Structures are given as C-alpha cells and as structure tokens.
Amino acid sequence: MSETLNSGEATAPAATKVPIEISNVRPAPGQIALKAPRRAKPPKHIADFDMAGRRDFLKELGYQSFRASQLSKHYFERLVTDPAEMTDLPAKDRERMVAQAMPQLLTPIRTLEADGGDTLKVVHRLFDGALIESVIMRYDNRVTMCISSQAGCGMNCPFCATGQQGLTRNLSTAEIVEQVVAGARYLKQMKGLEEAEGGSEDTRPLRVSNIVFMGMGEALANYKATMGAVHRLIDPSPEGLGISARGLTMSTVGLVPGIRKFEMEKLPITLALSLHAPDDELRDELIPINQRWKVDETLDAAYDYYRTTGRRVSIEYALIRDINDQGWRADLLGKKLAQRGRGWVHVNPIPLNPTPGSKWTASRKGVEQNFVERLRAHGIPTTIRDTRGSDIDGACGQLAAKEEEE
C-alpha cells in the first residue's frame, strides 16, 4: 500500500471556506432516510446542465451563449480546467469566466494506492466540508470507476461503513460528474501514456470505460442529479464524455419506485441489486429498506427492468460469515431467481470487506464455494466478485469515515 496527497502532489489541500457540522451520531438501527437534509447548495457548474442549459447559464453570467460550447469542449473533451490552456477564450475574461462557469467542486485530500498502482482510492472534500470517495480500478481490458452519489447514505445497512455514517446530503449533478472527469484527467496525466500508445510493455487502457454508481450513497434516492450525471457521462462530446451507456452500472439496495422509474428511461445500463439475503426475515435486518419493499417485490421490479431494457441484472450478495452464507439460503435464492426465468440475472457473491470493530466478517472459503456451487446447480450464472483495495480501507465510506475521525 502507498499513500499520496492530491494525486501524488506533495501539497496540502486548500482549507474549506464554508465548513459544515458533520454529525458523528449514528442512525438508530433500522432507521432510513429517503430525503436528504437541506444544506447550502454547491456552486453551479456547466456540468449541471445540458447544452441548452449551459447556454442560458453563460448568458446569466453575462457572457455570449456560444461560450458554452467552447467551455464544454475544454471540460468534457480536453479535460482541461486551467484558463491558460483555453486560448480560444478572450484573454481579459478567461480566468473570471472559468471561475464562474467551472468552479472547483472537489478537493482531493487523500489518495491511496493498492494492487501495484492499479487501484486508486481518493477522498474528496466538497465545498461545504463534506467528504466523498471515488475509486479507479485498472484491468487488462478496461478502466472502471466507482463513484459516489451522496455524501453518506440514508439506507443504514449495518455491515456498510457508509450506512453507519448517516446521510449528510445529496450531491449535485456536477459533483457526481466531476469525480469521473477528475479520474479521466488523472489517467490522461499518468506517466507512460505516450509509451503505452506506442506499444510499450504497459498497453492497458488509460481511459475510463466503465462506471459503477456503487460508491457512497443510494443513487436512486438522488434521482434527478443522478440522471443528469448519467447523461453527462454518456452524451457525446461536447455535450458529455461520450462513454457507452452499456459501460454504466446503477446500483440500488432496492428502492422499488426508483427501479420502476429508472426502467422507464429505457437506457441500456446494467442494474445491480444489492440483495444480500433471499428471505425477508434476514433482509429486514441487513437492508432496512426491505421493511418497506420486500424481497419478491424487489426481484419482480428487477426482472421487469431486464424485460424492458434487455440488460441482464446483477445481484450483489456480500457473503457474511454465519449470517447469510448458509447453503439453504443459496438454494432459496436460486429458486427465486430461476422461477422468474432464465438468462435474466447473474449473481456476484462478494467476499465482505470488514470494517473496524464490526461483528461482520467474510465467509470461510469452503462455505463461499459451496454457496456458489448451489446457485449454479439452479442454473444461475454466478461469479465471485474480484475484490480490490482491501488493504486501503476498501469498504465504501471506510476511508472517508477515517478522515472525519482524524
């Protein structure tokens, strides 16, 4: 494990101008928060808007509307934020225009590397002092980013580090998008890019191709900002980053109305359902939202999402020792999935990344393998999820929580 500040720069982060009180009081067991607390809003940014909205935004700031297209090319295509590099803008207005239309939204305060530099976890401080995380994971054939949609989370799942923090606030569309742009900017600046393009030994991709809304927060509980971010990510430049919608994954603990609404967007985005238990008795405890929308209702919504979009649903299942890893639960899960049809679902058992002081820990290897084999016996495609960053506080929210304590 190695640690750097500000993506390798040995400089201290800028002080937060408008600090907020971040409560250390943990939510009561089973208590959920679907509505975020009211907080001061972050400054507006061109990434908050589609192109028409950006033109209006620039006009409101006192500039000609066509500047929106120029700024968009710099931000989404060139990944540039330095006014000095935007030579197509008037020199006398350049710095002020960029400061107003593209304000700094994230300040990296801690960066941890693992897996030989292939996994990078960054803690960002927002304008109001709230903390979020994003993760970059490099593989042989892709680069995946895991991004946050909320500061904290209101779902209060007891084995999740983020859930134990409670919900501070929703992120804006631009705060979500900026995590990806910052990651893409980092990859662009990585040493050896030119050599890789020239066919050197390290020829793995250095462009973000896959994005999972699996960081801090429940994305479907911040629906409007999340969908705005989705379009900034998938719309072609200069509208957005032009990432394929098929490379995106939307994770949810099972907000059934949100799944139904997302289904109607009819986008070829993978839905990942964090199930973690096939029976209501246990899931009521592990995933408190299950007390409102039960397992079968949630699976029905996921199946309908598949039928509408044609995208196979991913079932996320964190294997927790002696809690949800029994063979009979694998059989029950297999039966419930199989009775809805074939080919619509894939299960990803996940070795749990434990959090300090928690009673929850990962299943034994033999138990894990038995769980997988029993699911496969029901005809359910099952793959143990690759775990990255377990030595850098890999559980979502774990590193941000540590920063708040220090």
Check the CA dihedral 129-252-373-280 and report its sign: positive
Domain at 2-13+105-405, CATH class = alpha beta
pLDDT score recorded for residue 355 = 67
pLDDT score recorded for residue 35 = 81
CATH architecture of 46-102: Orthogonal Bundle (1.10)
Q: At what angle do helices 223-234 and 173-189 cross, to 10 degrees?
A: 30
Residues belonging to the active site: 133, 396
Closest CA to 61 of 33, 99, 88: 99
Mean pLDDT by 10 residues, the chain (406 residues): 37 36 58 80 97 98 97 96 96 97 97 89 96 94 95 90 88 98 90 50 74 96 98 97 98 97 98 98 96 97 98 97 96 98 96 76 93 98 78 47 49
Identify whether the C-beta of residue 402 lies closer than 8 Å to the C-beta of residue 393. yes
pLDDT score recorded for residue 39 = 83
Closest CA to 222 of 128, 151, 125: 151
Burial of 178 (0-12, 13-18, 19+ CB in 10 A): buried
Question: In the chain, what is the straight-line distance between the N-terminal and C-terminal CA atoms, in Å?
Answer: 19
pLDDT score recorded for residue 391 = 54
Q: Judging by DSSP bridges, how do beta strands 248-252 and 270-274 pair with one another?
A: parallel
Q: Where are the domains of the chain?
A: 2-13+105-405, 46-102
CA dist 254 and 195 (Å) reads 44
